[in-house]
Each structure stands twice: as structure tokens, then as C-alpha cells.
Amino acid sequence: MALERKDADASTTVSVVTVGPARSRDALRQALAMGCDDASLVLAEEPLSDLAVARALAKVALETKPDLVLCGKQASDDDQGFVGPALAEVLGWPHVSMLTRLVPAEGGVELWREVEGGHEVWKASFPVLGTAHKSEKEPRYPSLPGIMKAKKKEIPERPVGSLGADLGGPRLEIVALETPPARGGGKILKDGDMKAVAEQLATLLRDEAKVL
């Protein structure tokens, strides 16, 4: 989505930043290969609370002063969808979630999001934060020249502790994880003619399943 803006207006700068362990570099390198201008890593080898991540990213955003911050809509592991909205809250910026499209508008940007049966279009002045759903376009492939260029770019790194962000605060703790109860086998009614089966079915739906 960000790179589409850059395609449309070459003066756009797309910077990527992540808070995470050293292996996060691979994801940043991939983003550079796809065409992002620069990347930086805030190193946190130990997992942080979502709020601490948002506060760390807020420090970076206040330094770099982007017009628009795009986050993913949710983490692929815990599906919390927390960091984006929390970052907007820490920054005191407006935020719109589940974006599918960005359109430049007078003094800001139109933010399109998918809703039941259509699109909802919001308009915001800068700075603003959005969380990205699936773009209307397929993500681009890193090109071979992009990969070679990305190799040559430095990815600066600094420890999360050096940002001066409050990394404390409430943390979620997983108390228990359970698999859903096994489903009982279904019942096949086959004794008697069609009418008898229908009667049995109605009885079972009323007395056993209690849906009638």
C-alpha cells in the first residue's frame, strides 16, 4: 500500500521499522528489496508487551515525523491487533483500521476500509495512522535488482532500551490454552420410511438439540 503511493508519487519516502529480535532483519531486508527507501531495527531480543512496543515505535515516529504510519492489522501469532491502535493512542493521532486503499486528498488522505457489502471512506489530515488489511493489489515481488540494492543498504539498529520509552506497564499473561472439545459423532436416521425419519428428526431437534 505504501509502495503504491510511492509508485504514484516518486517523492514519497517509505521507511520501515520494526521492534524485534535480530532475525527481524530478514523481514526488513525483504521490504527494502521490494522498494522501500530505508529500514531500521529496534532491537528487543526478549518479547515486550504490546503497549511497550507501541511506546517504542512512538519514539521512532516522533523522531522521523512521518505523515502516515501504516501498521499490519494484527500479529500473525496472537492475533491481538493491538499495536497499531495503541501506537495511535500514544501519539495522540487519529487512526483507521483495516485499510484496503489509500487515496491522496486535499490536506490529507482518504482511507478506504472494507465493510459489509462495500467500502467505508474516511478522510484524515496528517499525521494519521492506519492498519492495513489486504490491499486491492497483490503484494509485489522483490525484483532481482531490488534484492541486490537492498544488500548494499545499511539497516541501522539500536537497542529498545536506548529510546527512553516506558517499557513497563501491564502485561498480558497466558493462563491456559485449551483445544476445543472433540465433537461427538453425528446421528444418521435410517429406520422407517421418509415420514418416520422426519418425525424422529423433529423429536431429536426438539428434545436433544433443543433448537425447536
Partner 1 sequence: MNPYAGGTERELAAAVAAWSERLGPRIAAAEEAGKLPRELFWELADLGVLGMTVPERDGGLGASTVAFALVLEELAAAWASLAVGVSVNSGIVAGSLVRFGTLDQRARWLPRLIDGSGLGAFGLTEPTSGSDAASLRGTARRDGDGWVLDGNKLFVTNARYAPLLLALLRVSSSGGPRGAEPPARHAGITAFIVPLDVAGVTIGKPERKLGLLASDTSAVTLDGVHVGADALLGEVGKGFSIAMAGLDAGRIGIAAQAIGVARSALALASAYAKERRQFGRPIADFQMVSFSIARRRTETDAARLLALRAAWLRDVGRPFTREASMAKLYASEAAQRATHAAIQVFGGYGYMREYSVERAARDARATTIYEGTSEIQRLVIARSLFAA
204 binds partner 1 (CB under 8 A): no
| Nearest distance, CB of residue 141 and partner 1, angstroms | 5
Query: Please, what is the minimum distance in Å from the beta carbon of residue 68 to partner 1?
Result: 26
Q: How far, in whole angstroms, is CA 25 from its chain's centroid?
A: 18
Q: How far is the CB of 10 from partner 1 (least distance, A)?
A: 17
The verdict on 3 binding partner 1 (CB under 8 A) reads no
Residues ≥6 apart with Cβ < 8 Å to 147: 33
Produce one character per residue of 37-66: b if its CB has 16 or more CB atoms within 10 Å, e if not. Answer: ebbbbbbbeeebbbbbbbbbbbbbbeeeeb
List binders of partner 1 among 135-194 (CB under 8 A). 141-148, 151
Identity of residue 200: Q
Nearer to partner 1, 143 or 162 (CB): 143
Under rule CB under 8 A, which residues in 71-110 are in contact with partner 1?
Answer: none
| 117: contact with partner 1 by CB under 8 A | no
Nearer to partner 1, 33 or 44 (CB): 33
What distance lies between CA 58 and its chain's CA centroid?
16
Q: Does residue 126 bind partner 1 (CB under 8 A)?
A: no
Q: Which three cell numbers stand for residue 188?
A: 444418521
Does position 27 interact with partner 1 (CB under 8 A)? The reply is no
Report the alpha-carbon distance of residue 69 to residue 102 in Å, rounded: 12
Using CB under 8 A as the binding criterion, the count of chain residues that bind partner 1 stands at 10
Of the pair 16, 109, the CB lying nearest partner 1 is at: 16
Bridge partner list, 108: 105, 125
> Amino acid identity, residue 140?
R
Q: Which residues bind partner 1 (CB under 8 A)?
A: 33, 141-148, 151
